[in-house]
């Protein structure tokens, strides 16, 4: 089995504050093989992300890598990476030695519910699966969860778990959407799904990003852990035998009819 730490932290506009919170969360994640942090762990969304974005060898990722190495825990976290005229919303994957193993640039940008992420963020174009802590982890960022074809592409690349990182916006039915979508991606792909969102942080921002509700969902869509809305770190375990059992019972990946929607 693999032990994962769901690190549901509040995110400040200040990267140095967030690095300290991530380092403290890793200290509380003792015994985990992999720690997952939210989208935009570097800094909260807003127009300042263009000036606060850092290269992947900058102080934030370097500090996170040092903490990963110190505690012997692999890490996934969301940062903003400078681009040509806009930044990238990037999920970095560090191994337990602190080495950068992958950087996934968010493909689907949140131009919905009145937001316009694409005005500040340039999209990526490459689904990413990374080997961490003995797992093949498919990386999914926030709005990506609404697009089942991305999760399916990750399964086709051999993902045996999804890591979903988010700064999910609050609002009418939004929390229900989050729970439904995370469970659906797990169930339709019979794949463990570890989804981690920002904890609400009204003391430092009124933007509404961050509802908490970080979860571990098993391959049959059962919620095995739910952190609610408060900040916290919870250790959960992924059992690959349950994946094999679920896929024997529900072999829907084998039953796909490719091209069914094409005329």
Rounded Cα distance, 41 and 197, in Å: 10
Q: Which residues are annotated as catalytic?
A: 39, 106, 142
pLDDT tens per residue, the chain (263 residues)? 999 999 999 999 999 999 999 999 999 999 999 999 999 999 999 999 999 999 999 999 999 999 999 999 999 999 999 999 999 999 999 999 999 999 999 999 999 999 999 999 999 999 999 999 999 999 999 999 999 999 999 999 999 999 999 999 999 999 999 999 999 999 999 999 999 999 999 888 888 899 999 999 999 999 999 999 999 999 999 999 999 999 999 999 999 998 776 55
> What confidence score (pLDDT) does residue 77 get?
99
**Contact call for residues 145 and 182 (beta carbons, < 8 A):** yes
Rounded Cα distance, 98 and 69, in Å: 5
**118 SS3 class:** helix
Rounded Cα distance, 196 and 20, in Å: 18
Rounded Cα distance, 3 and 73, in Å: 10
> What confidence score (pLDDT) does residue 205 get?
84
Task: Copy the structure tokens of residue 71.
Answer: 């505690």
Q: DSSP code of 98?
A: S
Residue 125's Cβ-side half-sphere holds a number of Cα atoms within 13 Å equal to 1
Task: Copy the structure tokens of residue 38.
Answer: 């939210």
């Amino acid at each position: 089995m693999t032990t994962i730490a769901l690190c549901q932290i509040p995110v400040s506009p200040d990267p140095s504050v967030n690095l300290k919170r991530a380092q403290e969360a890793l200290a509380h994640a003792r015994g985990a093989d992999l720690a997952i942090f939210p989208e935009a762990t570097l800094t909260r969304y807003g127009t300042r992300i263009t000036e606060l974005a850092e290269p992947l060898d900058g102080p934030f990722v370097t500090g996170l890598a040092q903490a990963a190495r110190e505690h012997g825990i692999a890490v996934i976290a969301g940062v903003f990476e400078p681009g040509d005229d806009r930044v990238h919303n990037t999920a970095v994957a560090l191994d337990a030695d602190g080495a950068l193993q992958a950087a996934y640039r968010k493909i689907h940008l949140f131009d919905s519910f009145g937001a316009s992420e694409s005005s500040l963020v340039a999209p990526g174009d490459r689904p990413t699966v990374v080997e961490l802590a003995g797992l093949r982890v498919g990386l999914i960022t926030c709005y990506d969860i609404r697009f089942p074809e991305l999760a399916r592409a990750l399964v086709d690349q051999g993902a045996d778990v999804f890591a979903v990182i988010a700064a999910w916006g609050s609002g009418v039915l939004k929390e229900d959407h989050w729970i439904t979508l995370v469970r659906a991606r797990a169930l339709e792909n019979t794949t463990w799904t570890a989804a981690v969102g920002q904890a609400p942080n009204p003391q430092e921002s009124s933007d509404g990003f961050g509802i908490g509700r970080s979860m571990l969902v098993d391959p049959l869509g059962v919620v095995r852990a739910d952190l609610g809305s408060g900040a916290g770190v919870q250790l959960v375990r992924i059992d690959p035998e349950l994946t094999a059992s679920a896929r024997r019972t529900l072999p829907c990946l084998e039953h796909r009819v490719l091209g069914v929607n094409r005329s």
